[in-house]
Amino acid sequence: MRQEVELSLFKFGIDHEDLLFLHRVDSHFSLAEQMTELKRMQDEGKIRHLGLSQVTVKQIQEAEKYAKIDAVENLYNLANRRDEDVLEYTAAHGIAFVPWFPLNTGRLAQAGGILDKIAKKYQAAPAQIALAWLLKRSPNILPIPGTKSIKHLTENVAAAQIKLSDEDFKKLSDASQF
C-alpha cells in the first residue's frame, strides 16, 4: 500500500494526496493493519484525508478506531439503495458519502416511467433528476458522476439547481425496489 501511494505522489509530482480511498478492504490483511499504515502515512503528511470504499457500517466503525474517516464511497443510486444503513451512519457522523455509480437508474428511466415523467415535468434529463434526487436525499452526499462529453458535464452540473418537490422525491423513492 505504501509503495502505491508513494509511486502515485511521484508520478503526479505532488507531496500529498488530498483524499485517499482504501478502495477495497484487502482480505489478506486485517483492517487494523491497513488503517494503521494509512494513518501512519497521514501523520507523515502524505495523505490529508482518508476514505473507505465498498464497506459496511461495522467496517467503518472498526476503521474509526485507528483513524478519522472523512469519506465513504459505496454503490448507491436511485435504483440501488442497499447501503441505506451506511448512508445513514455517515450522515449521523459527519462523514461525506460519495455514491458510486450515481446515475444507474435501470428500469426507472424507461420511456413513460416515473423518472421520465418527472424529468419532463422539470424540463430536465432523467440523469439530472437522478442527481437531484441524490442531492435531496442527504446533505452529506457528494455525487461524482462520470461524463464523456461537455454536454453531459453541463447537464450534471445543472442538476444541482433542480429542486425536487417533496412529492416528486417521494414518488422516485417509492418507485425503486432495492
Domain segments of the chain as ranges: 101-178
Confidence category of residue 104, pLDDT binned at 50, 70, 90: confident
Taking only the tens place, the pLDDT of each residue in 10-22 is 889 989 999 999 9
Q: Describe the chain by its helix, strand, coil percentages, rounded to 5.
A: 50, 15, 40
Mean pLDDT in residue range 159-178: 91
Mean pLDDT in residue range 137-160: 93
Query: Does position 177 have pLDDT exceeding 70, yes or no?
Result: no
CA-based end-to-end distance of the chain: 34
For 159, other C-beta atoms within 10 Å of its C-beta total 22
- Report CA-CA distances (Å) from 21 to 18, 53, 65: 10, 6, 17
The burial class, CB within 10 Å (0-12 / 13-18 / 19+), for 152 is middle
The burial class, CB within 10 Å (0-12 / 13-18 / 19+), for 113 is middle
CB 60 within 8 A of CB 21: no
pTM of the model: 0.92
Mean pLDDT in residue range 55-61: 98
Element (H, E) at 20: strand 17-22
